[in-house]
Structure 1
Amino acid sequence: MFDTMTMTKALGGVCGTLLVFLLGGWAAEAIYSGGGDHGEDHAQGYVIEVPEAGDGEPAEEVVTVSFEEAFAVADASAGEGVFRNCRACHALDDGVNGVGPHLYDVVGRDVAAVGDYAYSGALVEAADVWSEEELYAFLEDPAGYAPGTKMSYSGLSDPADRADLIAYLATNPGS
């Protein structure tokens, strides 16, 4: 069964396979290393310019706008445009709840005052009344204001948009 010819074929097959892997390894090394001496440093393919810290233009300062400053120049008509973000989950009509509670008469209303809406416990613990200041803080970062709130909206980063929206909500009938 095992004669010399079978043993020779098997040994030749193993040696041939090893030779193919050895040559494949050399070819891959030549392709990916760029060939040449492995001890020398290779130039980068491309360079990304990164400005040094302190060189060039100064970094932009983050300006924090207080509620009073933002609300002093609030525009209710501009807030109507901002309300489009809210319209997907909230309604302005009294008693019409969507994913979120209705916002009819929300400014000055007690938190969790809509009886037929199930509020999250985190929101109920965060404030007592939706004053303009409380709404301003909540709309900036709902999850940061009331961790665990059901409101998944990331918030309004622009202080002017928040103030405009609150001014618009305050001018709705019943507010």
Structure 2
Amino acid sequence: MGKGDYLISTIDEFANNDLIWYPWEEYVFDKARCENKPIFLSVGYKNNESYDIIYKECINNQKVIKILNNSFIPIEFCSAVNTNIDVYMAACRLLSGCCSLPSSVFLTYDKKLFYSVDIGLNKGSKCKVENFIDILKSIVEVWNDDNKRIIDASNELTKAIHTVFDLNTN
């Protein structure tokens, strides 16, 4: 692990918290598979005020950190570094009708999206950390009880994304 260009929160205030961030690398997805954990993908870009606020008010919360470290493999990713992340942003649009940065995306260990959530800010509002905690707990519960259902749904969503992209390229 360590800080690199793929990470957003390179400033010391965030770099020193207890959340264990991983890079977008194959060994991390292998780790998720071996530990049977979903991926929490936080996508944003450096020097983004909204991301910094969300990080301080929501992701840097001790309850959130505990859930993410224990039940997920957290990956933090700067969208400006790798445009391969664009497919996940498109998938978010399919799921919710909109998608903006920063974005919180949940993936299987096969890199397939199954859920996205907007913990963003609306004109000065605060991150609703308790709602985010409830979402995390719900995902953990379903994953632990029946992750096959999540994997099947992510496969269907992946097919839909490919269909949409194929339609848009003709």
TM-score range, shorter chain: under 0.3
Task: State which structure, 1 or 2, has the greater radius of gyration over its C-alpha atoms.
Answer: 1
TM-score by length of 2: 0.24
When you count strand as a share of all residues, which structure comes out higher? Answer: 2
TM-score by length of 1: 0.23
